[in-house]
């Protein structure tokens, strides 16, 4: 499943120097090593989109839950159509398919 987060901007953005001064990094999640949890990643994606609002309205961040991987989309501001994505949707879909195939091979009884 892919989660996409967007932020609509209706007012004129503040100057970049003012926005940069107001950005505060959150405290690190209280985990005993390892990767951040999916809710922590989603919260970081939401903050990134909010901080970029007004600077790059054509950029949208998302999180592919099946892969545990972030992606970035470039979006046409007028139509909302995705112009490009890094990594590409086709690449992420092939990664998911490969993971499923490897899982089937490892789960075979034989």
The rounded distance, in Å, linking the Cα atoms of 56 and 58 is 5
| pLDDT value for 16 | 47
| pLDDT value for 7 | 45
Does residue 92 contact residue 62 with C-beta atoms inside 8 Å?
no
| pLDDT value for 36 | 84
φ and ψ at residue 20, rounded to 5 degrees: -65, -35
| pLDDT value for 22 | 53
| pLDDT value for 12 | 43
* Regions of the chain where pLDDT drops below 70: 1-33, 54-57, 109-110
Short-list 49, 52, 42, 44, CA closest to 14: 52
pTM: 0.52
């Amino acid at each position: 499943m892919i989660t996409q987060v967007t932020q609509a901007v209706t007012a004129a953005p503040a100057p970049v120097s003012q926005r940069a001064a107001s950005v505060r990094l959150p405290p690190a999640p209280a985990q005993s090593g390892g990767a951040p949890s999916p809710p922590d990643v989603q919260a970081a994606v939401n903050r990134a989109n909010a901080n970029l609002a007004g600077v790059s309205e054509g950029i949208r961040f998302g999180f592919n839950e099946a892969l545990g991987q972030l992606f970035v989309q470039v979006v046409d501001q007028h139509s909302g159509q995705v112009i490009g994505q890094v990594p590409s949707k086709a690449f992420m879909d092939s990664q998911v398919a490969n993971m499923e195939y490897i899982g089937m091979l490892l789960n075979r009884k034989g």
